[in-house]
Amino acid sequence: MSMNIALSGLGAAQKDLNTTSNNIANANTFGFKESRAEFGDVYSNSIFSNAKTTTGGGVQTSTVAQQFHEGSSIYTNNPLDLRVSGSGFFAVADNKNEAANSNLTRNGAFQLNNENELVNSEGKFLLGYPVNKDTNTVASYEAKALKIDDIFGQPTASKNITVSVNLPNKETVPKTQPFDFNNADSFSRSTSSTIYDSLGKPYKMTTYYVAKYDPNAVAPAVTNANTWDVFQTVTDNNGTEKALDAQVPGVAPNPNSAAGSNGHMGYVLKFDANGQPLQTTPLNIQMETFANAGIEVGGADATQAIAMNYDDLTQYASAFEVRKFQDVDGASTGYLSKVDIDPDGNILASYSNGKDLVVGRIAMARVANEQGLTQLGGSLWNSTQESGEVIWGDASQGSFGAIKSGTLEQSNIDMTQELVDLISAQRNFQASSRALDVNNQLQQNILQIR
């Protein structure tokens, strides 16, 4: 009996040594969770035994329990290196077409495969949710493999330009009149931006601002800070700059139209004493079509027309400032240039045409009882009946932690504590070995009795 007790002690000490050694061996494994061997005593009696004098029967391993507290962070320059700050797991699947058969992991070292799908080092697919491109909300909470397209969309023609600008309330009036874009002395300010035709070809669109002369001003060389003429031009594929006339509605002569040289037609912006546009000032101006302007488009849609929409137009006593000049519609074919992931798990893809697109949201998973998860190796776990069903959700929502991009979660073991546990397990092993040796000597002595 005593030899069996000592033998069970050896087995328990060996289990403790194995568990501690496994923790130490995985000190640099991302997302690894330390294990702890837990033991219970063996005790049995019967109705024919005296419970007061019955000794225990040794020790047994109750469980090897994993500890799911968070590990420390290691920072990288890779935006696809992720960690969960808080509770929750990433979900990965062996087969992208069978996302329901998924595993859980805290190892967030992901990369793009040859089909631009997010996978881990073992080729397992990271699962996420499809996102509505217009609202950036989750379209369906059915987790699927995530893919980032390396090419974004078809070319689209520029149609609407949103402008936010401040025109200074005092500006030197151009020396030469009327306006001529070939003469720098005929305009006060100019800005340029890129627009696109229906084939995605770029054009330079230039806006010219002309401070109007007021003969009633005290200083004739300075505008009275209430009126500006604005003209637009487009430089075509031949490098020729051509005027793009404004189609200002109204009966001619229209007070909101501005005339330049060679018949160029612009529009007028007028301001009140508070630096705000007058109610009669048009803030949405439709320009003529490229065909009417004689712009060479090389096979693209010549009926393309630009609408200038002034979103925030002011005339304050401050410097000339273009706060926004946004092409709402136009874009050429874009190629993937950058990937970012925010704390909510949204994957933001940036393309070479200047467009940013949320291509998906990383799925988060958790279970009611983490201790009930089955360990698979490779920092992977499977749900079981003891752990409960997998609960899906979003990062930074409810009990789910946030996602940190460019960061990995290190193993959560404490090397100092593990070395102390190793010494303790070694002492227990030695003590059980000594008990076994003593039992052996006693039996030898008995066998030698004559």
DSSP states along 336-399:
EEEEEE-TT-EEEEEETTS-EEEEEEE-EEE-S-GGGPEEEETTEEE--TTT---EEE-TTSTT
| Integer Cα distance of 269 and 226 in angstroms | 8
Residue in the block written with tokens 């007021």: 214
Share of the chain above pLDDT 90, in %: 58
The pLDDT of 277-286, averaged and rounded, is: 90
Q: Which pLDDT does position 220 carry in this prediction?
A: 46
**Whole-prediction pTM:** 0.67
Q: How far apart are CA 91 and CA 394, in angstroms?
A: 12
User: Given this model, what pLDDT does residue 450 score?
Assistant: 64
HEC per residue, 128-178: EECECCCCCCECCCCCEECECCCEECCCECCCEEEEEEECCCCCECCCCCC
What does the pLDDT look like over 380-437, one tens digit per residue?
999 999 999 999 999 999 899 999 999 999 999 999 999 999 999 889 888 888 888 8
| Mean pLDDT within 371-386 | 93
The reported pLDDT for the residue numbered 59 is 86
CATH number of 160-327: 2.60.98.20
Does the bond joining 178 to the residue before it have cis omega, within 30 degrees of 0?
A: yes
Mean pLDDT across the stretch 17-31?
93
Average pLDDT over the chain reads 87
Q: What does the domain layout of the chain look like in residue ranges?
A: 3-69+413-448, 72-152+335-410, 160-327
> What is the per-residue pLDDT for 433?
83
Omega within 30 of 0 (cis) for the link into 253: yes
- pLDDT above 60: residue 87: yes
CB 360 within 8 A of CB 347: yes
| pLDDT (average), residues 61-68 | 88
- pLDDT tens, position by position, 181-224: 999 999 999 999 999 999 999 999 999 999 986 555 444 444 45
378: how many CB neighbours lie within 10 A of its CB? 17
Question: Band of the pLDDT at 360, cuts 50, 70, 90?
Answer: very high
Q: Smallest Cα–Cα separation from 231: which of 270, 257, 249, 251?
A: 257
Whole-angstrom distance, CA of residue 166 vs CA of residue 327: 18
